[in-house]
């Protein structure tokens, strides 16, 4: 709460008291005598996003173990899955396809250079040579089912190759699908609380890896019986008013 109060410049002056259920987590009594209930909660990765992160880890590690025997340099890399299905029974075959792609695409990568290719749904075999050349220059390819993008960095100072995501997972975007269940759950508590002048919901993001997101992609404002809803990004101190 202290970090939010410091970061939200429009936070009203007054006295704030931590409460016990069924009251809100905090009640702010402003200098004008207005009483505001503040519920505090956190947002975490969904089970689906955790699963995709686990798939990303498995793919990347298996690709690295094969690819480092074929490339003449050490590297860091990530293989990012997309929404297309990946058949578990075909995972070894898929890893082999990705390794072959990497050898072709990145075999002559210069030291300290990055390489990245991204899947495009359009069938590139149908494009005329001039257009196809431009599309390929932008880094687009028809990648195998389930592979969204491949990113690699050559660095000759490395003693071994590894995945560049230190905590072992890809950081997802924060969407309305992550926020809405939290809002609805907290709204259900409002009915059992005493009537106040206003009710706020504070959602914290950025605590631990599973509570960290990349971009916030939420259409604003969101609908809720809360008077105000805030997203507090603890790593940057940014406050986003969702309502």
Q: Region 195-200: what's the mean pLDDT? A: 95
In a domain, 191, yes or no: yes
Question: CA 205, CA 171: separation in Å to the nearest integer?
Answer: 12
Residue 3: C-alpha distances to residues 7, 79, 92, 205, 217 (Å): 6, 36, 47, 12, 23
The residue among 99, 129, 163 that closes a domain is 163
57 shares its domain with 122? yes
119 shares its domain with 215? no
58 shares its domain with 150? yes
In a domain, 168, yes or no: no
Looking at the whole model, is its pTM more than 0.85? Answer: no
How confident is residue 168, by pLDDT bands cut at 50, 70 and 90? very low
CA torsion through residues 68, 73, 76, 78, sign: negative
User: Which residues span the domain enclosing 148?
Assistant: 47-163
Higher pLDDT, 169 or 160: 160
Query: Which are the contacts of 135, defined by CB distance < 8 A and separation ≥ 6?
Result: 120, 124, 127
pLDDT in tens, 68-93: 999 999 999 999 888 888 877 788 89
pLDDT in tens, 12-29: 999 999 998 888 999 999
58 shares its domain with 158? yes
52 shares its domain with 26? no
What string of DSSP letters covers 105-145? Answer: HHTTPPTT-EEEEEE-SS-GGGS-HHHHHHHHHTTEE-PPT
The whole-chain average pLDDT of the chain stands at 90
In a domain, 97, yes or no: yes
- How many domains would you assign to the chain? 2
Residue 49: C-alpha distances to residues 42, 132, 173, 212, 237 (Å): 16, 33, 10, 12, 24
53 shares its domain with 158? yes
Q: Region 122-135: what's the mean pLDDT? A: 94
The residue among 101, 129, 163 that closes a domain is 163
């Amino acid at each position: 709460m202290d970090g939010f109060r410091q970061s939200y410049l429009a936070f009203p002056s007054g006295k704030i008291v931590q409460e016990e259920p069924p009251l809100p987590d905090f009640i702010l009594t402003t200098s004008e005598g207005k009483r505001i209930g503040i519920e505090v909660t956190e947002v975490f990765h969904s089970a689906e996003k955790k699963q995709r992160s686990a798939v990303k880890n498995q793919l990347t590690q298996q690709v690295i173990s094969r690819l480092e025997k074929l490339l003449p340099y050490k590297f860091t890399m990530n293989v990012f899955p997309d929404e297309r299905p990946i058949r578990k029974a075909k995972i070894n075959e898929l890893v082999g396809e990705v390794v072959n792609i990497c050898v072709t695409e990145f075999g002559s990568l210069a030291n300290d250079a990055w390489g990245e290719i991204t899947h495009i749904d359009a069938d590139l075999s149908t494009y005329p040579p001039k257009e196809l050349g431009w599309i390929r220059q932008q880094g687009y390819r028809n990648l195998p089912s389930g592979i969204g993008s491949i990113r690699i960095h050559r660095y000759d100072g490395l003693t071994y190759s590894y995945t560049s995501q230190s905590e072992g997972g890809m950081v997802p975007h924060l969407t309305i699908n992550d926020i809405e269940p939290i809002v609805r759950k907290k709204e259900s508590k409002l009915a059992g609380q005493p009537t106040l002048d206003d009710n706020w919901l504070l959602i914290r993001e950025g605590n631990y890896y599973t509570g960290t997101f990349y971009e916030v992609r939420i259409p604003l404002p969101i609908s809720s019986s809360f008077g105000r809803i805030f997203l507090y990004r603890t790593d940057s101190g940014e406050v986003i008013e969702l309502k």
